[in-house]
Amino acid sequence: MGRLFGTDGVRGVAGDDLTARLAMDLAVAAAEMLHDNGTFHSARTAGRRPFAVVGRDPRASGEFLESAVVAGLAGAGVDVLRLGVIPTPAVAFLTANLGADLGVMLSASHNPAQDNGIKLFGRGGFKLPDAAEDEIEARLGRPGSAVTGAPGGGFGRVSDNGGALERYLAHLLGSLPAPGQSGGTGQSGGTGPAGGTGPLAGLRVVVDCAHGAASTVAPPLLRRAGADVIAIGAEPDGENINAGCGSTHMEALRAAVVEHGADAGIAHDGDADRCLAVDAGGQVIDGDQIMAVLALGLKARGRLAGDTIVATVMSNLGFRIAMQQAGVTVIETAVGDRYVLEAMREGSFNLGGEQSGHIIMLEHATTGDGILTALHLLAAMAREHTSLADLAGVMTRYPQVLVNVAGVDKTRVAASGEVAAQVAAVEAELNGSGRVLVRPSGTEPAVRVMVEAVDPEQARHLADRLVSAIRSAS
Looking at the annotation, which residues are catalytic?
109
Helix axes 317-325, 287-300, angle to 10 degrees: 10
Longest pairwise C-alpha distance within the chain: 70
Reduced to 3 states (helix: H, G, I; strand: E, B; else coil), residue 231 is strand
Radius of gyration of the chain (CA): 23
Identify the three-state secondary structure at position 117.
strand
**Which residues on adjacent β-strands are paired with residue 9?**
6, 7
Return the number of other C-beta atoms located less than 10 Å from residue 370's C-beta: 31
Contacts 24+ apart (CB under 8 A), 341-344: 341/126, 341/127, 341/366, 341/367, 343/310, 344/310
380, 391 contact by CB (below 8 A): yes
HSE, CB side, 13 Å, CA atoms: give it for residue 293. 28
Q: How far apart are the first and last CA of the chain?
A: 24
Sign of CA dihedral 266, 284, 292, 261: negative
Cα-flanking dihedrals φ and ψ of residue 112, to 5°? Answer: -70, 170
Asked whether 122 and 132 are in contact (CB, 8 A), the reply is: yes
For 8, phi then psi, to 5°, come to: -140, 55
Q: Own/partner pairs for 2-8, CB < 8 Å, 24+ apart?
A: 3/134, 3/137, 4/137, 4/140, 5/130, 5/133, 5/134, 5/136, 5/137, 6/442, 6/443, 7/336, 7/338, 7/339, 7/442, 8/109, 8/117, 8/119, 8/336, 8/337, 8/338
Which of these, 198, 168, 173, lies nearest to 93 by C-alpha position?
A: 168
Q: Do 118 and 195 contact (CB within 8 A), yes or no? A: no
H helices present in 76-140, as ranges: 88-97, 130-140
CA 84 to CA 145: how far, in whole Å? 30
In the three-class reduction of DSSP (H, G, I as helix; E, B as strand; rest coil), residue 205 is classed as strand
